[in-house]
């Protein structure tokens, strides 16, 4: 029971991390110090997509599920939980590149807006 709870908590953390990577820059509008957490998280998220890296949380979740007597799964978190909801055909390298580009575009836009806002306040 404890292992299953840990695996489920890890899935929730993983999902929240992905949302933070994608939209965390918006939080920086209200708490500028969060950029210290968001920029490395966004860089990691983009790296995973652009270079098709394997996230270390996925094998950990599988180990916890197996310890709980459940079956693990092949592939990564996105392929297992999110892609079936968003892309029924499955994840391809092209889709991964587009996802990475989307993360980059959203975050560049947010940080550009932050920079413009800051310059507007200082009158520079």
Tokens 């200082």 sit at which residue?
122
Q: Residue 124 and residue 115: Cα distance in Å, rounded?
A: 11
Tokens 């709870």 sit at which residue?
5
- Which residue blocks in the chain are alpha helix, DSSP H? 2-23, 25-28, 35-50, 57-67, 77, 83-86, 93-122
Q: Is 38 exposed, middle or buried (0-12, 13-18, 19+ CB in 10 A)?
A: buried
Query: What is the model's pTM?
Result: 0.74
Please spell the DSSP secondary structure of 45-57, one letter per residue: HHHHHHTTPPPTH
pLDDT tens, residue by residue, 55-101: 888 889 889 988 988 777 776 666 667 656 545 466 788 888 888 89
């Amino acid at each position: 029971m404890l292992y299953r709870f840990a695996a489920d908590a890890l899935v929730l953390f993983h999902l929240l991390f992905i949302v933070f990577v994608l939209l965390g820059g918006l939080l920086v509008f209200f708490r500028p110090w969060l950029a210290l957490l968001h920029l490395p998280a966004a860089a990691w998220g983009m790296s995973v997509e652009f270079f098709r890296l394997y996230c270390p949380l996925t094998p950990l979740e599988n180990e916890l599920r197996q310890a709980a007597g459940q079956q693990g799964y092949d592939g990564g978190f996105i392929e297992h939980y999110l892609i079936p909801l968003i892309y029924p055909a499955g994840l391809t390298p092209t889709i991964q590149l587009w996802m990475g580009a989307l993360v980059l575009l959203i975050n560049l836009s947010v940080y550009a807006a932050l920079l413009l806002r800051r310059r507007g306040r200082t009158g520079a």
